């Protein structure tokens, strides 16, 4: 069996924040509270495959992305890349590992340096990781990556502001790809782009995966795009995974009430004219002050006293899916065992 | 009822750049009937927001505006400020994408709503406060009385948008312009706000213009859709028609570029290229360079506006011919259709 490329086990990241309230000095500066941005998640990415990470703002999906790349130290748990634990930041071993895993952000203009030409920026990772490379070879590598993402040679002399949004995201991709990584963590890579351009970038990501066997962690709030691009999907709510499984079946037959609500909330062209499901009520709770038991119970139509008392654990269903809900078909447990 | 509330004719907007004028809107014709919901879709820079900012006199003074926008018998274009003040916020209200930057961060939300009530309806003191409480309650904010003394940062994004809607309702408008009202919000909250807007419309009979880049949002919430591209209205039709039988190649392209939530996954049909800059528009049809159906004539001359059926207009030489459903079911050739067992086995460890 193929070995996993990326494994995260029981990964958590907690922050100390100050919250309103308390007497005396605390009334002014707030009292200390722990914000569990990511709270014990376990996931696996296989080589050449895509894991979609979805959820609403504040669910911890971006923090998870940073933890997976070692851009942020976890409070507990560990990440293994290609069988090895992530090396300590700024060591030689870390730089070696980081060549294999790159990040793509939402806002390409913010991720690019306005004062450098596109060609210089795409070449920059080579300057850092392969300082001995000849200028001719460097140029050849840049040209190769630019062609791979659909940019033309003359774009190399341009500055970021001279390109369109879609072209800028292609530049960011070329820069991420130039070290021939095995894994890209893409954090909302197409959210800032127009609809017609989004499709271009989604197709490009799929083509690159097919050609190079790249693995992706694709972080997005757009479920339609996640379905299009992912093999597996993990749905997060308030720092935890509530449902995790193969994309096609998860979208066809969501089990967790939150996944169901999230899917029902997506406006689609296909549903025009038809009756719309009633949206769930309320906002996601404050992560620094989560409800007891199941975090979703305050908005869940099925919640009972059990949900307030005990947080449900992720359990395996017969189809290999994992769901954290007291009310999801308990019989499936036995079937899976 | 079929009373015309707003009638826009030949609306043009030019912005000065250096010593020349750049045309952003190329003559928009658009009507909104009383009680109707109209959707305006298009990509960034297509002119969907500028249309309404121009009609309401909200563009910077250097913008040159031409054409006509009638609200009943009243001409809005280049009308004196005093006349516009009697319209804006009162007969026509507008809400925007980012509620937290539209609200004043250092003033309590109750005060911001009562200000609007004083301005538009002359309510003060206890009467204004009671009405503010009623409005907050109406837009679905629990504990309305307590929330009046909150500052915007103490409320979530969805709640702030509800406050903006309450302020918009303060003038009891006949028309609400909602410019990307849910773009900054999470999916579940977006669904709540769209539902709220529908309920409000049903109860008050107010008209709505919903501006959005999200075809799904528009499809589910309006009666009639206008598609804009590069400062022109390229297609207008009842929403049932436009999503089932789009006529303009751009509309067809936008729909084909959208991933579906169910059914087989197919490769997205992306529209090649990108939206032209307003100062660099192609000759002929602005969409021709990206259009898969463009012929030589499309590159030479601008297409006529065709009235193809009752209430259906299309700006395309070939718009008359497309009336077939476009949902193709080409199977996917991307690697991820193959669902293999090993990943699932790993997860289930």
Taking the Cβ of residue A252 and every Cβ of chain B, the question of whether any pair is shorter than 8 Å is answered with yes
- When the pLDDT of each residue in chain A is averaged and rounded to a whole number, the result is 90
Model confidence at B263, pLDDT cuts 50, 70, 90, reads confident
Segment 1-30 of chain A within 8 Å of chain B by CB: 1-2, 4
Whether residues A212 and A72 share a domain: the answer is: yes
Whether residues A210 and A127 share a domain: the answer is: no
What is the domain extent for residue B262?
Answer: 1-91+173-349
Residue B96 located in a structural domain: no
ipTM of the complex: 0.85
Q: Model confidence over B273-295: pLDDT tens digits?
A: 888 888 889 999 999 999 989 99
Q: Which residue out of B37, B42, B188, B224 would a mutagenesis test of the A interface target, given it has the greatest number of A Cβ atoms within 10 Å?
A: B188
- The CATH number of whichever domain residue A239 belongs to comes to 3.40.50.300
Residue B187 located in a structural domain: yes
Q: Model confidence over B81-123: pLDDT tens digits?
A: 999 999 999 999 999 988 888 899 999 999 999 999 999 999 9
User: Residues of A with CB below 8 A from B215's CB?
Assistant: 195, 269
Whether residues B75 and B198 share a domain: the answer is: yes
Model confidence at A330, pLDDT cuts 50, 70, 90, reads low
Kindly state the percentage of chain B with pLDDT values over 90: 71
Flag whether pLDDT at B334 surpasses 50. no
Residue A85 located in a structural domain: yes
Flag whether pLDDT at B337 surpasses 80. no
Mean pLDDT along residues B60-82: 94
Segment 60-119 of chain A within 8 Å of chain B by CB: none
Answer with the one of A223, A245, A276 that is the final residue of a domain.
Answer: A276
Answer with the one of A257, A276, A295 that is the final residue of a domain.
Answer: A276
Segment 130-169 of chain A within 8 Å of chain B by CB: 164-167
Residue B13 located in a structural domain: yes
Whether residues A123 and A259 share a domain: the answer is: no
Model confidence at B235, pLDDT cuts 50, 70, 90, reads very high
Answer with the one of B171, B192, B208 that is the final residue of a domain.
Answer: B171
Dihedrals φ, ψ of A37, to 5°? -65, -40
Answer with the one of A251, A276, A301 that is the final residue of a domain.
Answer: A276
Q: How far is B8 from chain A (nearest CA, A)?
A: 27
Whether residues A56 and A152 share a domain: the answer is: no
Q: Which residue out of B257, B277, B329 would a mutagenesis test of the A interface target, given it has the greatest number of A Cβ atoms within 10 Å?
A: B257
What is the domain extent for residue A207?
Answer: 6-100+181-276
Q: In 10 A of CB A88, how many CB atoms?
A: 10
Whether residues B161 and B220 share a domain: the answer is: no
**Most distant CA pair in chain B: distance in Å?**
72
- Pairing outcome for strands B305-309 and B312-315: antiparallel
Residue A197 located in a structural domain: yes
User: Residues of A with CB below 8 A from B275's CB?
Assistant: 164, 194, 196
If you measure CA to CA, which chain A residue comes closest to B343? A46
How many Å apart are CA B226 and CA B239, to the nearest integer? 9
Q: Model confidence over A293-329: pLDDT tens digits?
A: 999 999 999 999 999 999 999 999 988 899 999 998 7
What is the predicted pLDDT for the residue at B347? Answer: 34
Residue A270 located in a structural domain: yes
Give me B261's structure tokens: 């939530």
């Amino acid at each position: 069996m193929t070995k996993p490329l990326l494994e995260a086990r029981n990964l958590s990241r907690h922050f100390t924040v100050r919250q309103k309230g308390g007497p005396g000095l605390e009334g002014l500066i707030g009292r200390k509270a722990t914000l569990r941005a990511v709270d014990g998640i376990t996931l696996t990415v296989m080589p050449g495959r895509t894991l979609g990470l979805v959820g609403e703002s504040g669910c911890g999906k971006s923090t998870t992305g940073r933890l997976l790349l070692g851009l942020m130290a976890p409070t507990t748990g560990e990440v293994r890349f290609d069988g090895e634990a992530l090396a300590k930041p700024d060591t030689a071993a870390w730089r070696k590992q980081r060549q294999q895993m790159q990040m793509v952000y939402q806002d390409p203009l913010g991720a690019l340096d306005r004062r450098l030409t596109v060609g210089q920026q795409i070449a920059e990772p080579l300057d850092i990781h392969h300082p001995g490379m000849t200028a001719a070879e460097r140029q050849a590598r840049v040209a190769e990556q630019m062609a791979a993402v659909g940019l033309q040679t003359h774009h190399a002399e341009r500055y970021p502001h001279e390109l369109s949004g879609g072209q800028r995201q292609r530049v960011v991709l070329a820069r991420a790809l130039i070290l021939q990584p095995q894994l890209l963590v893409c954090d909302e890579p197409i959210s800032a782009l127009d609809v017609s351009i989004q499709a271009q970038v989604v197709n490009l990501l799929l083509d690159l995966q097919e050609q190079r066997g790249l693995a992706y962690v694709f972080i997005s709030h757009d479920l339609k795009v996640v379905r299009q691009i992912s093999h597996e999907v993990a749905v997060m709510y308030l720092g935890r995974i509530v449902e995790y499984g193969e994309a096609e079946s998860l979208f066809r037959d969501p089990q967790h009430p939150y996944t169901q609500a999230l899917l029902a909330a997506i406006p689609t062209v296909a549903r025009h004219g038809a009756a719309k499901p009633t949206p769930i009520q309320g906002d996601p709770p404050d992560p620094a002050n989560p409800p007891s038991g199941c975090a979703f119970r305050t908005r869940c139509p099925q919640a009972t006293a059990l949900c307030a008392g005990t947080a449900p654990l992720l359990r395996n269903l017969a189809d290999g899916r994992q769901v954290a809900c007291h009310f999801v078909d308990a019989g499936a447990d036995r079937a899976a065992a | 009822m079929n009373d015309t509330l707003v009638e826009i004719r030949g609306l043009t907007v030019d912005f000065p750049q250096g010593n020349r004028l750049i045309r952003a809107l190329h003559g928009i014709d658009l009507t909104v009937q009383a009680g109707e919901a109209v959707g305006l879709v298009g990509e960034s820079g297509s002119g969907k927001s500028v249309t309404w900012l121009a009609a309401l006199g909200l563009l910077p003074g250097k913008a040159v505006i031409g054409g006509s926008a009638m609200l009943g018998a009243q001409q809005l274009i280049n009308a004196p400020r005093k006349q516009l003040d009697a319209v804006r916020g009162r007969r026509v209200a507008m809400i925007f994408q980012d509620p937290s930057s539209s609200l004043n961060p250092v003033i309590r939300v109750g005060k911001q709503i009562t200000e609007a009530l004083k301005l538009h309806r002359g309510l003060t003191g206890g009467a204004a406060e009671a009405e503010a409480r009623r409005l907050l309650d109406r837009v679905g904010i629990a504990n309305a009385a307590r929330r009046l003394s909150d500052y915007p940062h103490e409320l979530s994004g969805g709640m702030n948008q509800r406050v903006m809607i309450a302020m918009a309702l303060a003038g009891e408008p006949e028309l609400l312009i909602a410019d990307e009202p849910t773009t900054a919000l999470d999916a579940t909250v977006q669904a709540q706000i769209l539902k709220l807007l529908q309920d409000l419309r049903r109860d008050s009979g107010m008209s709505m213009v919903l501006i959005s880049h999200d075809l799904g949002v528009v499809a589910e919430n309006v009666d009639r859709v206008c598609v804009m591209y590069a400062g022109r209205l390229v297609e207008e039709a009842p929403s049932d028609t436009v999503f089932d039988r789009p006529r303009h190649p751009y509309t067809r392209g936008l729909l084909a570029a959208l991933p579906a939530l169910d059914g087989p996954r197919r490769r997205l049909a992306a529209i090649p290229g990108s939206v032209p800059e307003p100062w660099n528009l192609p000759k002929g049809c602005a969409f021709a360079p990206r259009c898969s159906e463009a012929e030589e004539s499309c590159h030479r001359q601008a297409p006529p506006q065709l009235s193809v059926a009752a209430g259906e207009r299309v700006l395309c030489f070939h718009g008359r011919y497309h009336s077939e459903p476009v949902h193709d079911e080409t199977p996917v050739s991307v690697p991820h259709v193959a669902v293999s067992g090993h990943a699932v086995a790993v997860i289930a460890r």
